Structure 1
Amino acid sequence: MNDVRESFPQPPATMSRRRVLGGVVAGTLGASATAAAVPIDLAVPARAQQPAPTGTHRIDLHAHFLPPDYRAALLEHGHLTIGGYPPPEWSPEAAIAFMDYYGIQAQALSVSDPGVSFLSGKEAADMARYCNTYAAGLFKSDPARFGAFAVLPMPDIPSAIEEAIYALDDLHLDGVILLSAYDGVYLGDPRFEPLMIALEQRRAYVFVHPAAIPGTAKPALPLPDFLEEFTFDTTRAATMMMLTGVTQRYPNIRFQLAHAGGTLPFLSWRVGVASETVVGQMWPQGWPKPSLLDTAGQISNFYYDTALSGSAAAMSSVLAVTARDHIVFGSDWPFSAMTLPQSGTHDPAPGLSDIFDTDQRLEVERLNPLRQLPRLAQAVGG
């Protein structure tokens, strides 16, 4: 790899995440066609790898940043790993070098797990304001390279609403990022309703990112959370939002699910079929009862990013439950640094060419993201 590539943050690791991830996505190819929202022929992988688009065209909707004071606070409060991964170094200069190398025109930056929820009260609110103001400064000084999703001081709902309004209305950030759960309470819980109302009023774009599961609430396996648990938690959040009616009550909120929706596409039929079993008979009073057809429609309305999911197996599963225009590009950088191609290619996700042709990749990697973020689209001339 050339000197530019070597300048990217490279957190220590004893083994390649790329090697570990290879076997994880292989099982997702058999997604149920029963709940398909698009013709099944769209889910058939290309027989031969197609050429990738050229030039600096990609718009990255799953990219993280760690402003200096935020990263220092994480370490000070004992967050030595995030999803089992050491908090990487980050700087605007390193981000631009990464984007230039991999043909990315702009990144919509977001704070990853644990957001600012490791703090409380005024400290959490102040840290959220610091991160959001920092991000706004980036895209004001370099509008064609950076956008941002606002971090909120969850689970303090009044404070989160105040910050969301400020970030969207005053700072003009491109959306917000919400974790799948806060203190074990998942998105979809009635406690989050006031925030959803505020986001609905602003027709907000909401990036749903997985949160780490407490060690006491998961099996004691020698696997980092990013490998499997993150995908499961995204699935739990999406399922709860559907089954409690959030995705129906707030149709103007566009939810992007990280990492190709976790396991949701694969489990789409199982989620909907619950109404046909004893589960449906015991459904909590006041909650919409799941149905196969309704669940299929709601699943098709989510947006799915390609972060750590750039393979025919993962994308075929997504295409079995939604249309291609609901797939957006994501790199997961800088946390994905160890998974990026090491062969000198300037394509950050060559596996996408196993399922998409050149024009389709351009749609996923540029056109779809820009349709959702009008401020960024105007800034980049797209």
Structure 2
Amino acid sequence: MESSPKIDVHTHYLTPAYVQALKDAGQFPGPDGLPFTPTWNPDDHLAFMEKNNISKSILSCSQRHLGREVTREVNVYAADLKLKYPSKFGFFASLPLPDIAGSLLEIDYALDELNADGFVLLSNFHGIYMGDPQLSPIYAKLQERRATVFVHPTAPCIARTCNHDVRSSAPLADAYMIPIMEYLFDSTRTFVDLLLSGTAAAHPDVNFIVPHCGSALPSLLDRMVVSSSWDSDGFVSTRGPIQPITASFVKELFAKQFYFDLAGVAMANQIHHMLRWVGTERFLYGSDVPWTPWAGAEKRLKEIEEELPKLFGEQEIRDICYGNALKLLAM
């Protein structure tokens, strides 16, 4: 098919302070077992966009927890880039979680002073997953601001004491890079927590972008629905009773608050499974550059452009690549 204009909602940037934070955390040559940290600059990113008919990129930082100082630095950098190239770049602001007080301040600052398009949250913050009651003040603020939240996976935290040490955070972490399996599992883990805890439903004005076309959610949603009804038989979470949910409830929630990006390897199987749960208006384009190298992202894009016409009409494809993000981000 002829290349459709695209808005890229899953794409990243790196600043010197961010790279130094990786080094200080011992995550070098790359985080989460990756053998590299990519070089990045705006010119290379703009060239990639021009070559692949990407109208706008919504940048975010990923993988690492950042303190208040580095968080502010990366957010100001992205805001300056958006100001310089308003038609080309937007950004999801980072938050210094698990610092609740600092994050509440940063939400208002990012929206009121930096003109952020939303926020990027990691799948967990030192073992605090997205349905954790500790995050209640954050969700109250996000609800107040009617914010969009893009979630990016990080290494799982089996115990709160792990401090995201790759050697202790996941089985087989020394054998296989964390992104191969654990990114998908940790994204799924945190969204199951978000759904079963009732957190998403309790904040109806917060929109969530799920990475990698739902990660492993399509394989678990049916089990999650059935398991939630076990509460009446004494199966409860450690936080208390689980609110039983139904497949129709999940579909309604997804249709109101959830979007699914196509970053990664989404076309062979995942998109087919997600279509049981959502319509085309909930899909968004994502490249994952530069953590997915530029050439690799172009291969994934070619797969998308070859497979989408087998499933959808021209207008639906335009919406997936461009229109859905345009509506979500009100650009």
Tell me whether 1:136 sits opposite 2:90 in the alignment.
no
Q: Take 1:281 and 1:291, find their aligned partners in 2: how far apart are those partners?
A: 16
User: Does 2:224 align with 1:271?
Assistant: yes
After TM superposition, give the deviation of residue 144 of structure 1 in Å. 0.5
- Aligned 1:1-382 pairs, distance under 5 A: 51-54=1-4, 57-80=5-28, 81-85=30-34, 86-116=36-66, 124-213=67-156, 214-220=166-172, 222-277=175-230, 281-284=234-237, 286-293=240-247, 294-300=249-255, 301-337=257-293, 339-341=296-298, 347=302, 349-353=304-308, 354-374=310-330, 377=331
Partner Cα distance (1:312, 1:350) in 2:
12
Give a deviation string over 1:227-274, Cα, whole Å, max 9, x none.
Answer: 111011111111111111111110000010111111112211111000
Shift of 1:280: 5.6
Shifted more, 86-95 versus 304-313: the winner is 304-313
| More RCO (CA 8 Å, sep 6+) | 1
Q: Is the 8 A contact 2:231 2:242 kept in 1?
A: no
Shift of residue 76 of structure 1?
3.6
TM-score for the superposition, normalised by structure 1:
0.77
For the 8 Å contact 2:155–2:178, the answer to whether it is kept is yes
Given the superposition, is the C-alpha separation of residues 346 and 63 from structure 1 closer, same or farther in structure 2, using an over 3 Å criterion? Answer: closer
* Alignment check: 8 A CA contact 1:206 1:254 kept: yes
Over 3 Å counting, the alpha-carbon distance change for 1:252 and 1:346 in structure 2 is closer
CA distance in 2, matches of 1:328, 1:277: 34
State the 1:53 CA deviation: 3.4
* Range with greater deviation from structure 2 (188-197 or 282-291): 282-291
SS of equivalent to 1:61: strand
Percent sequence identity is: 31
Q: Which runs of 5+ in 1 are unaligned?
A: 1-50, 117-123, 378-382
Q: Deviations over 1:29-77 (max 9, x none)?
A: xxxxxxxxxxxxxxxxxxxxxx2434xx210000000012221332243
Q: Which amino acid aligns with 1:226?
A: P
Is the contact between residue 115 and residue 151 of structure 1 (CA under 8 Å) also seen in structure 2?
Answer: no
Equivalent position SS for 1:228:
helix
Closer, same or farther: CA 280–169 of 1 in aligned 2, 3 Å: farther
Count of residues in Structure 1 that have an aligned counterpart in Structure 2: 314
1:53–1:359: 8 Å Cα contact kept in structure 2? no
CA RMSD of aligned residues (A): 2.1
Cα distance in 1 between the residues matched to 2:303 and 2:6: 10
CA–CA separation in structure 2 for the residues paired with 1:296 and 1:268? 10
1:278 Cα offset (Å): 6.8
Q: TM-score, structure 2 length as denominator?
A: 0.89
Moved more, 228-237 or 68-77: 68-77
> 2:161 is matched with which residue?
none
User: Shift in Å at residue 219 of structure 1?
Assistant: 1.6
* Structure 2 CA distance for aligned equivalents of residues 351 and 184 of structure 1: 39
